[in-house]
Amino acid sequence: MQSVKSDLRLWEIDLDQSPEWIEAASARVLAADERPRPGEAEDQVRRRRLVARIALRIALSRALDRAPGELRLRRDGSGKPWLEPHDPRAPLHFNLSRTGDCCLIAVARGGPVGVDVEHVVPLPEADDIVRTRFAAEEARAILAREGADRVRAFFNCWTRKEAYLKARGLGLMAPLDHVVVTVGDEPGFVSLHDDDPRAWRLFAVPLGPDRAGAVAVRCAGSRGGGMLRPEALPLDRGG
């Protein structure tokens, strides 16, 4: 069986690039309707969003060996981006997530892929979310922990669910307890409401103590999951 990881690339991008780089890369890489409006690149949040948009085109251009500016990106009804023309015989699947200055982009040839990254910080509403939106077994496992372990287990659970929901093109409006995952160090699906968990692999992304990341990818005949270390995306094609 071909390794899932050989069909899957995970890129990490530092979203804090210089205004000069952003200006040059926007002109070279982005479609006319994606380019920054006057003043947009002055705001840090918008600047980071722009860098993510540029990085997505660079990552896709590497996979397709085409110029980033040639790619035509569209969005489906849920907001999930896809590439046109969409060749059903060899589609390229991808997904992006960002938090603060960190962005992850997953690109897969084998099947739909979803990625999520979050800052690991104690949230006052976390226990409420766990009790009201997570599955009973996840809630038991998370609430049995204390302190930093509990916070980490919450974000392990959250990012694993969100990665899967993003792979499916569903958002967080979907019932979160329909996707049941492990919350400890070993990522895995316990059960999926209308899907076969054996058709998916779930990876945890090692990003240090302050961040949690996960990637879900659909691939025939695969099992389990593990760790998926991201590679730094070379941004030279954009600048």
Sign of CA dihedral 236, 109, 155, 134: positive
Exposed e or buried b per residue across 114-140, where buried means at least 16 C-beta atoms within 10 angstroms of its C-beta: bbbbbebeeeeebeebbeeebbeebbe
Stretch that binds ligand COA, among 75-83, 122-130, 195-203, 229-237 (CB under 6 A): 75-83
Among 69, 81, 224, 239, binds ligand COA (CB under 6 A): 81
Q: Does 78 bind ligand COA (CB under 6 A)?
A: yes
Q: Give me the 89-118 binding string for ligand COA, x by CB under 6 A, dash otherwise.
A: ------xxxx-----------------x--
Take residue 157 and report the two structure tokens written for it: 């659970």
Among 38, 79, 124, 209, binds ligand COA (CB under 6 A): 79
User: Which is nearer to ligand COA, 4 or 216 (by Cβ)?
Assistant: 216
> CA 214, 220, 226, 230: dihedral to nearest 10 degrees?
-50
Contact call for residues 56 and 104 (beta carbons, < 8 A): no
Q: Does 214 bind ligand COA (CB under 6 A)?
A: no
Stretch that binds ligand COA, among 73-81, 82-90, 188-196, 228-236 (CB under 6 A): 73-81
Q: Does 49 bind ligand COA (CB under 6 A)?
A: yes
Q: What is the total count of residues that contact ligand COA (CB under 6 A)?
A: 18
Q: Does 172 bind ligand COA (CB under 6 A)?
A: yes
Contact call for residues 163 and 137 (beta carbons, < 8 A): no
Q: Does 175 bind ligand COA (CB under 6 A)?
A: no
Residue 49 class from Cβ within 10 Å (0-12 exposed, 13-18 middle, 19+ buried)? middle
CB of 79 to ligand COA, least distance (A): 3
Strands 102-108 and 8-14: antiparallel
Strands 72-75 and 225-227: unpaired
Among 32, 45, 173, 232, binds ligand COA (CB under 6 A): 173
Strands 8-14 and 231-232: parallel
Residues forming contacts to ligand COA in the complex (CB under 6 A) are: 49, 52, 77-81, 95-98, 116, 162, 166, 169, 171-173
